[in-house]
Structure 1
Amino acid sequence: MKRFALILLAIGLLGGCASNDDSPNELVNADVAELYGEAASAMERGDWETATRDLESLQAQYPFGIYATQAQLDIIYVYYRAGDVASTVAAAERFRRINPRHRAVPYSWYMQGLALEEKNEDPVKRLVGVDNTLRDPVPRRQAFDAYATLVEDYPDSEYVDRARERLDILFADGARFQLSVARFYADREAWVAAAGRAITVINEFPDTPSVEPAMDLLALAYRNLGLDELADGVIAEKESLPSRGGDGIPEMPGIYEGEEIEVPPAPSADDAPGRDAPEPPSNVL
C-alpha cells in the first residue's frame, strides 16, 4: 500500500499550493484533494467501509477530473476487498464505459474476473472440505468471459499472464463440475443422462484431469445400458490416449451456455478470500 502514501504526499503538495490562491477552481481542487486523501488513508489501513463512503462521495460531488477518474478506479478494488461482488462488477463496467481508452481498462477486466470467480466462495464449506467449484457455474462462465476478453483484446497488458492462469483453472473447474453432474446421475442409475454428461467432459474439456474418470463412467453407463461394444471401445480409447498440449485460450465450453441456476449471495467483507488482487494503477501522480 506504499502507493497510497505517495498519493497522499502529492495531495498535500497540491493542497499547499491551493492555499495561496483563493480562486474557486483552486478551492475546489483543495476540497477534492482532501476528500481523496481521506479515502486513500482508509484504503491504506484496510477500512473498506470508510473508503467506499469517501470514494462514492467524491464521485458524486466532483464527477470530473483526475481525482474522479482515480476514484472510479480505486472503488473497483475497494468493493472487491469488501466482498461486494455485484458492486465490483458494476464499478468495473462503469469505469470502462466512462474511460474506454484508459490504460487501466485491462485492470478493470481482471478485477471483474476475480470478483465473479469468487462469487461461490464459502469459507465455512471450504474449511470442512466442500468443493466450491461444484456449485453454480454461471459466475465462472462470466469470469471466463472477462479473462478471455483481457487476453484477447489487451495481449500486452501486465495482467495477461495472471488471466491465462485463471482461464486454465476455470477450464479445469468446468470439467470437474460436469463430471460431478455425471456422477450424480450414475448414482441414481440414470445411465443415459450420465453418459451424456460424461461425453460432454470428454469432448468439451480435453486435456483436463476429469477426462479419464469421465471415460470410466461412460464405459460403466454403456455396460448398464447393454452397449458392451461401445463400452469396450471407450476403454480401448482411454488406454491409447496420447499426450496432448494445451496452449492459448481454451474455447468457451458450450456447456457453460444457458446454465440457469440461482447465484448464492456473495461472501461477507470479513470472509472475502482476497485472491491475487493487485492494487489499482495510479492516475493521480
Structure 2
Amino acid sequence: MQAWKTLLLVVMSAIVVACASTEEKEEDLPSGSRTEQAFYEAAQRQLRSSQWDLAIKNLRALEDNFPFGSYAEQAQLELIYAYYRNYENDAAIASADRFIRLHPQHRNVDYAYYMKGLASFTEGSGLFERFLPTDMTRRDPGSARESFAYFSQLMARYPDSRYAPDAQKRMIHLRNLLARYEIHVANYYFKRGAYLAATNRGRYVLENFQQTPAVPDALAVMVQGYHLLEMPTLEANSLQVLKANYPDHPALNSNGGFNYNYYKGASGRNIVHRLTLGLFEKSDPRGFDSREQYNVEYRREETPLPPELM
C-alpha cells in the first residue's frame, strides 16, 4: 500500500512539473522598451511566479546590458536566488562567489555567503530525493562538508547576520549527518572484516563529533572493534563510558553487559567470507544504528526570497 502511495506521489509530482513548464511562456520585451527598469520589472514578475528560467534570463540580460546601472547589484543578488530555486546549485555558488569578489563591503554580502552554504546544503536533493524517503547520511559527504565550511565563513565574518541563526541550525544538522556517515562506514568495515578500520572510525566520531547523536554508536563500535582486535583494556574503557552515558543503548544487555552478537556477522567469519571479502553475502547484516532512539529531528524548510531583495 505504501509503495502505491509513493508511486502515485511521484506521478503527481511529474504532472505538476510538466504543467508548470508548459505554462512558462517567455516574456519578450519590445525592442523599444529594453531598458534596465523593464528587464528588472520582468524579472521581478517571474520571480514572484516561480518562473526561474525566465527570471535568470532577464537578470543576466540586465547585467550584461547595464553592468553599472542602478539595478545591477540587486540583480546579481537575485540571480543567486533564482539559480538556487532552479536547482542550479553550482551556478548559484559561482554567482555568490562573484558577488563577494565584486562587492566585499556590500550591505547584503552576508546573504551571498549564506546562499553558498544553502546551495551546497541542498546539493543532490533533486526531485526524487525531495519526495521519496532517502537516507542522506549514506550519500557522499563532500557537499555536506562544503556547506558546513560555507556556513562557518558566514558565522565567522557576520555573527550578527539575520541569516546566522538558520545557518547555525543547518550546521548542527550537517555535523550530525557527517558523524552518522562515519558510523555507516564503520559498519561497512565490520562487514568486510576490517576491524581496525571500523574501530578507528568510531574513535574519529568520538574525537571530532562530540554531542552528536552518533556518539553512542561510536562507543559501541569501539567496544565491538576492540573486542574483535583482542584489546581488552581499551574494550573495557569504551564499555565503561558507553554504560555510564548511554545505559539504554540497544547493544547493552539488561545486566549492563555488551551484546557482541548485536552486530550480526561482525564475528565468526568463514573462509568463503575471508576469500571474497564479503562480496557474495546475501544481505547486509544489522549494523550499529540507534538513530530512532537518539536522533534529534531536523525539519527542512523552504527558503523564501528575503524582504530586502523584493
TM over 0.5: yes
Query: 2: CA distance between counterparts of 1:66 and 1:281?
Result: 18
- Could you tell which deviates more after superposition, 162-171 or 134-143? 134-143
Paired residue for 2:212? Answer: 208
Deviation for aligned residue 1:168: 0.8
2:35 is the alignment partner of 1:35? no
SS of the counterpart of 1:240? helix
1:66 alignment partner, SS class: coil
Q: Give 1:262's aligned residue.
A: none
Q: What is the rounded CA distance, in whole Å, between the counterparts of 1:76 and 1:114 in structure 2?
A: 11
Q: TM-score, normalised by structure 1?
A: 0.74
Partner of residue 137 from structure 1, selected from 141, 147, 151: 141
In 2, are the aligned partners of 1:76 and 1:91 still within 8 Å (CA)?
Answer: yes
Is the 1:77–1:280 contact (alpha carbons within 8 Å) kept by the matching residues of 2?
Answer: no
Q: How many Å apart are 1:280 and its aligned residue?
A: 4.3
Once residues 229 and 155 of structure 1 are traced to their aligned partners in structure 2, the CA distance between those partners, rounded to angstroms, is 44
1:93-146 per-position Cα deviation (integer Å, ceiling 9, x unaligned)? 111111111111111111111110111224435655331232111111111111
2:108 counterpart (73, 82, 104): 104
Q: 1:114 to 1:61 in 2, by over 3 A?
A: same
What letter matches 1:131 in structure 2? D
Contact 2:136 2:177 in 1 (8 A): no
Is the contact between residue 52 and residue 85 of structure 2 (CA under 8 Å) also seen in structure 1?
yes
Per the TM alignment, residue 68 of structure 1 is displaced from its structure 2 partner at its CA by 0.8
Instruction: State the distance in 2 between where 1:32 and 1:162 align.
Output: 34
Contact 1:220 1:231 in 2 (8 A): yes
Is the partner of 1:64 in helix, strand or coil? coil
- For 2:245, the equivalent position in structure 1 comes to 241
Indicate the residue corresponding to 1:80 in structure 2. 84
- Measured against aligned partners, the alpha-carbon deviations of 1:221-259 in whole angstroms (never above 9, x if no partner) come to 1111112232121101222339xxxxxxxxxxxxxxxxx
- CA deviations 1:174-230 (Å, max 9, x no partner) are 100111111110112210110111111111100111011111111111111112232
* Residue number in structure 2 paired with 1:217: 221
Contact 1:36–1:67 (Cα < 8 Å) also in 2: yes
Aligned to 1:70: 74
Structure number with the bigger relative contact order (C-alpha 8 A, sep ≥ 6) is 1
Aligned to 1:197: 201
Q: Which amino acid aligns with 2:215?
A: V
User: Alpha-carbon deviation of 1:281?
Assistant: 5.2
| Whole-angstrom distance in 1 between the partners of 2:189 and 2:309 | 53
Which residue in 1 is equivalent to 2:305?
279
Question: Are the aligned partners of 1:114 and 1:277 in contact in 2 as well (CA < 8 Å)?
Answer: no
1:162 equivalent in alignment to 2:166? yes
Deviation at 1:275, TM superposition (A): 4.4
Partners of 1:138 and 1:211 lie apart in 2 by 21
Kindly indicate whether residue 116 of structure 2 is the aligned counterpart of residue 90 of structure 1. Answer: no
Contact 2:84 2:92 in 1 (8 A): yes
How many percent identity over aligned positions? 33
Q: 1 CA distance for matches of 2:227 and 2:90?
A: 46
SS of the residue aligned with 2:35?
A: helix
Q: Normalising to structure 2: TM-score of the pair?
A: 0.68
Asked whether the 8 Å contact 1:126–1:132 carries over to 2, the reply is no
Query: Of 107, 114, 119, which aligns to 2:118?
Result: 114
Amino acid at match of 2:216: E
**Residues 1:190 and 1:123: Cα distance change in structure 2 (over 3 Å):** farther
For residue 63 of structure 1, give the secondary structure of its aligned residue in structure 2.
Answer: coil
Tell me which of 35, 57, 60 is aligned to 1:53.
57
Root mean square deviation of aligned Cα: 2.1
